[in-house]
Amino acid sequence: MSSITYSERIKIETFCELGLSNIQMGVRLNRSPSTISYELSRCQPYQAELAQTDAEYKRSRCGRETKLSDELKQKILNHLRLSWSPGMIAHEFKLGPV
Report cis status (omega within 30 of 0) of the bond before 97. Answer: no
pLDDT band at 97 (very low <50, low <70, confident <90, very high): low
Q: What is the pLDDT of residues 8-67, one digit of tens each?
A: 999 999 999 999 999 999 999 999 999 999 999 988 999 999 999 999 999 998 888 878
What's residue 95's pLDDT?
Answer: 72
What's residue 68's pLDDT?
Answer: 82
Q: Which backbone phi and psi does 82 adopt, to 5 degrees?
A: -85, 10
Q: How far apart are CA 89 and CA 21, in angstroms?
A: 58
Residue 98: pLDDT above 60?
no
Task: Average the pLDDT over 78-87 and give the result.
Answer: 93
16 within 8 A of 8, measured Cβ to Cβ:
no
pTM of the model: 0.66
Indicate the domain borders of the chain.
6-61, 65-98
Buried b (16+ CB within 10 A) or exposed e, 10-43: ebbbebbeeebebeebbeebebeeebbeebbebe
What's residue 10's pLDDT?
Answer: 98
